[in-house]
Amino acid sequence: MDVQVKAAAPVAAADAIVRVEGLSHIYRKPGGGDLLVLDNINLALKDNEIVSLLGRSGCGKSTLLRIIAGLTPPTSGSVTIDGEPVNGPASQVAMVFQSFALFPWLTVLENVEIGLEAQGISPHGRHKRALAAIDLIGLDGYESAFPKEMSGGMRQRVGFARALVVHPEVLLMDEPFSALDVLTAETLRTDLLDLWNERRMAISAILMVTHNIEEAVLMSDRILVFSSNPGRVLADIKVELPQPRNRLDPRFRALVDSIYARMTAKPDDKPREGLFPGTGISMELPQVSPNLLAGLMETIAAEPYSGHADLPALATSLQMESDDLLHIAETLQLLRFAELAEGDIRLTEAGVRFVKEDMDERKKLFARHVLAHVPLVGHIKRVLDERATHRAPSSRFRNELEDQMSKKSAQSTLRAVISWARYGEIFAYDEDRGVFSFENPN
């Protein structure tokens, strides 16, 4: 295979616009205890390049973008733009948000003008510049519309116009297409690439955060692949395919497959562990419903996959985001119903058996695997066994979890455990009282 992958040459300090050096970020948990989000990141963004930060959700790439924009101060390390250190919202960059982040009570024109208004530019001057940006991004005729009247794609165009109108040097994009449907996202990507290639935007470089591998390969000159927990740069991949790129080009496919393989590779030092943040009973669990797990196992077991599927192909045929699919796949791996390797997923013996059994047997098998491989479920069951009443309040476990993780993660981990335990009929949970017990209403 002729894969266009090679390590990018280290950039000289002189031609880098944005430099990140030795940057680490620690999230302080409310209950005490620290979580290392970003670990020793080095990055240089040169003139005239599009760089993607590619990684799973929760790998700290959005945090990195916010640190570069000066919205969040880093715990250690430095960020410089044009040689000036960043301490506070930087004026050389403009950001496009995943959620669009438009003011619903302002019209398109007023939304685009907001950055100029903050600079104290006269109404006449900002009107002229805003109209030019609106024209450039293809929003003519929408000037007096309110965001809620527009489709997602048009709203994100407002987001782009708002960013471009302040004439930034660097455009920062935080998953700008991930809230859009497939067709709209593709149109917007193409339009943006056209503007970029025709040099019609007065910007020097683009830094984009994404979890979509194809999107990164389609758009960037360079891809930085991030690992999760903590976020580190795993690989710096230069993409040398000519623009415009064709998704069906074999070299394109080969590059996508090789990045998939990198992202699903088991870390050498800790097999199994590190799949989800935290270890033992304080592992942060994703809320994946047993029905989704069963559905994916059935799909993989059936033709044409027969127990072994290529993840990118599976994602395409199921019309799922690669990130969502990986979440389910990794939960299957945690429960030993499947193995992930090199961008492929393969059902284990237990996974194959699960698919063949009827409802009752499935539940029993599921329960055995959950008890064996999810320490928190085993822990809760043990506590219930030991108590004479066989009841325990959920707050007891929530407090334990909150010592190790954020409130939100503790909440979703408990939700996941409750849903799996209910499906496997391991123990019951009374939502009203917030109590775990063995009693199910008869």
Partner 1 sequence: MSSETVASVVRPSPLGLGERGLLPNVYDLVVFILIAGALFALAHGAHEMRAPLATLDMAPVTLDPGKLPEYALRTTLRMFAAIVASLLFTFVVATLAAKNRKAELVIVPALDILQSVPVLGFLTFTVAFFMGLFPGSELGAECAAIFAIFTAQAWNMAFSFYQSLRTIPSDLDEVSRHFRLSPWLRFWRLEVPFAAPGLIWNTMMSMSGSWFFVVASEAITVGDTTVKLPGIGAWLALAIDRKDIWAVVLAVAAMAIVILAYDQLLFRPIVAWADKFRFEQTASQERPRSWVYELVRRGRLIHWVFAPIEWTTARLAIIRLPRLAPRLLPKRAGKTGDMLWLAFVLLSAAYALWYIFDYVRSELGFDDIAQAFGLGFLTLIRVAVLIALASAIWVPIGVWIGLRPWAAERVQPIAQFLAAFPANVLFPIAVVGIVAFSLDPNIWLSPLMVLGTQWYILFNVIAGASAFPTDLREASTLYRLRSWQWWRQAILPGILPYYVTGALTASGGSWNASIVAEVASWGDTKLKAAGLGAYIAQATEDGDYPRVVLGIAVMSILVVTFNRLLWRPLYRLTERRFRLD
Q: Which lies closer to partner 1 via its Cβ, residue 154 or residue 223?
A: 154
Show the tokens assigned to 289: 């419903």
**Cα gap 438→420, rounded to integer Å:** 14
Nearest approach in angstroms of CB 55 to partner 1 is 20
Q: Which lies closer to partner 1 via its Cβ, residue 104 or residue 242?
A: 104
Q: Which amino acid is at 246?
A: N
Under DSSP, the state recorded for 424 is T
Q: Which lies closer to partner 1 via its Cβ, residue 163 or residue 239?
A: 163
Alpha helices in 89-167 (DSSP H): 108-118, 123-136, 152-164
Q: Are 365 and 325 in contact (CB under 8 A)?
A: no
Q: Which lies closer to partner 1 via its Cβ, residue 90 or residue 255?
A: 90
Nearest approach in angstroms of CB 23 to partner 1 is 16
Catalog residues that contact partner 1 under the rule CB under 8 A. 66, 69-71, 73, 87-89, 91, 94-95, 97, 99, 101, 103-106, 114-115, 117-120, 123, 146-149, 155, 166, 432
**Cα gap 371→363, rounded to integer Å:** 12
Nearest approach in angstroms of CB 82 to partner 1 is 17
Nearest approach in angstroms of CB 439 to partner 1 is 20
Q: Which lies closer to partner 1 via its Cβ, residue 146 or residue 305?
A: 146
Q: Give SS3 for 423.
A: helix
**Burial track 264-280 (b if 16+ CB lie within 10 A, e otherwise):** bebeeeeeeeebbbbee
Q: Are 331 and 345 in contact (CB under 8 A)?
A: no
Q: Which lies closer to partner 1 via its Cβ, residue 96 or residue 314?
A: 96
User: Which residue reads 């199910």 in tokens?
Assistant: 440
Nearest approach in angstroms of CB 150 to partner 1 is 10
Nearest approach in angstroms of CB 425 to partner 1 is 25
| Distances, alpha carbon 285 to alpha carbons 77, 276, 357, 412, 416, in Å | 31, 7, 26, 7, 6
Nearest approach in angstroms of CB 193 to partner 1 is 24
Show the tokens assigned to 359: 């409802």
Q: Which residues contact 242 (CB under 8 A, 6 or more apart)?
A: none
Nearest approach in angstroms of CB 165 to partner 1 is 10
Q: Are 307 and 352 in contact (CB under 8 A)?
A: yes
Nearest approach in angstroms of CB 290 to partner 1 is 25
Task: Of 349, 317, 343, give the one whose Cα is nearest residue 329.
Answer: 343
Q: Which lies closer to partner 1 via its Cβ, residue 114 or residue 355?
A: 114
Under DSSP, the state recorded for 416 is H
Strand pairing category for 76-81 and 16-28: antiparallel
List phi, psi (to 5°) of 199.
60, 40
Nearest approach in angstroms of CB 233 to partner 1 is 24
Q: Which lies closer to partner 1 via its Cβ, residue 6 or residue 408?
A: 408
Question: What end-to-end distance do the CA atoms of the chain give, in Å?
Answer: 61
| Distances, alpha carbon 343 to alpha carbons 137, 148, 212, 346, in Å | 37, 39, 14, 10
Q: Which lies closer to partner 1 via its Cβ, residue 78 or residue 243?
A: 78
Q: Which lies closer to partner 1 via its Cβ, residue 148 or residue 199?
A: 148
